[in-house]
Structure 1
Amino acid sequence: MKHTYLILILLAMALFSCDQENMGTLYEPDAPYVAFSSPVVSGNVLSAENDYAVRVQVVRSELSGSATATVSLEMNENIEGVFDLESNTVTFEDGKGSAYLKIVPLVEPGQIDPTKNYVFNLTLTGDNASEFYNKTSYRASFRYTPIGTGTFTSVFFDDEWPVDLEKLEVGNLTLYKAKALYETGYDITIVVEGENVTVNDQAAWYYDDEYGEVFITGTGTINGKTITMSLTHFIPDVYAWDPETEVLTLP
């Protein structure tokens, strides 16, 4: 609530700013304005508890009477056909300074790719949209649960080391996130379906300033707590090493 009031104050200050040459002249808008409460909102969790939807807050400068705001959602390759606005309008009740719209899934939960981070770029498009706070970006993803420390045995690096692991179950998929598996800052997602294991293309470690990041990709199997993978390390469009066997032992 404090955040909502703060954005309302900032909105009012922006809309009623003083003229630089004539301090006695104020800019007065023709009508009350609506705005997003924040330019970026990260950390939204997609889960069964919220029906895999994202709630977006819109605020307004005038609290009396009802009002309607119109919103558009910019499509990108991750969300097109997967998510959309439940409605492109949101209505404020009399006396209320905030209202919420929802971004909802268009597919069944099992069809939402849990390995992706989803970005929703929204714009207020109506005549009453604030000139200063009419865009926002919401970020959403699935939440993994820490499960302890496993052991990673790498033929590629001829070494073995402990690795912190997180787990997520969505439909018939089980995903393991190996934190900083090869290098700090590079978490690796491993997808398990039945006995089959898939490691999709993803950055895994940094080679040098000339060639940049090294990616990995591959497949494997799981037997009990042992995940055995054949992984290829490669620099896109530059070089690929021979596949090597890498083994992750779960805690």
Structure 2
Amino acid sequence: MSATKDARPRGAAAVPSAAGTRTDAPQPNAAVTAPIVATAPGAPTRASGRRPLIVLAPLAVAVAGGAAFWAMLRGMEDGSYNPRGVPSVLIGRKAPQTPLPPVEGLNLPPISAETLAAPGRPILVNFWASWCVPCVQEHPQLMALQRRNVPIYGVNHKDRPEAASGFLTRHGNPFTAISADAGRTGIEWGVYGVPETYLLDKDGIVRWRWAGPIMPDTVEAELNPLLRRHA
């Protein structure tokens, strides 16, 4: 038999072909061409490793907010919650003067922007709702303040007109004027929840804010000194 002539160039190395047979081909210079690293399908990359952190970030914020709300509710139950610890950016500033609509079916005028801008004497603005259990607790204090001729302006927050009317029929009406709030007014005032009460001086400057029900000790220790100071 005659020998088969080797046709590859001198110095070339033999490399395996795709079919597993041997093929002769010149090899490139390894110092010039960078190696190609194959990635198996489904293998994690650096970007995919960060993806779970991005997904979990909103969940962590929601959990933290839920824990804070739960702690506030527990504090309100055992008396350790301090409403004065909830900040308000309105203290020392003019109250929002957005015109407020009336509560349908109530024979009471709505709160006017002019009243909020310059009431002429200290007034209270009280956010409340018929579905609010703490509002029932604070209502006797509002009625007592009304008998002392302290003007109270009610903002009925996210409520039904017929439910608001029924609440006032059962518990009495302490309000000089009353307006409805679908939610936007509460946002403008920075309301955390109902009940929530603001004291405005004669020039419409917010001097005090109470988040939670006004109780007899609140009137004695907090509200009465402020009413005297800003009279």
Normalization by structure 1: what TM-score?
Answer: 0.18
Higher relative contact order, chain-length normalized (CA < 8 Å, sep 6+)? 2
- Name which one, 1 or 2, has greater alpha-carbon Rg: 2
Normalization by structure 2: what TM-score?
Answer: 0.19
Higher helix share: 2
Higher strand share: 1
